[in-house]
Amino acid sequence: MAGVPLEKISLRQVNKKQREQYGWAIDAYNEIKDQLNKINSFDKTNPSLNEINNYIKNTWIDGQLNFQKKICRQK
C-alpha cells in the first residue's frame, strides 16, 4: 500500500487488515476531494465572495468537525 496514490485505492481492493489500517485515510481523501469539488463548482456559477465564504463556513467547517468525530470513533 505504501507509495500508492490514494485515488488509485478503493476499499474493495484492500483486505480486512489493510482496511482497518488505511480505511480512515481513504475516507479522508474522498471527503476532502468531494469538498474541493463543491468549492471548485463555484467557478461555473460565479457567486459572490460572500456566498463562497458562507458556504465554506457553514459546510466545510461543519463537515470537518463531523469528519473529525468520525475519524476519532474509527481509531
Those residues whose C-beta lies under 8 Å from the C-beta of residue 38, and which sit 6 or more positions away, are: 55, 59
Instruction: Supply the pLDDT for residue 12.
Output: 60
pTM, full prediction: 0.37
How far is Cα 26 from Cα 21, in angstroms, rounded to an integer? Answer: 10
Those residues whose C-beta lies under 8 Å from the C-beta of residue 6, and which sit 6 or more positions away, are: 25, 26, 29
List pLDDT tens digits, range 14-70: 667 776 777 777 777 788 888 777 777 766 666 677 777 777 777 766 666 666 666
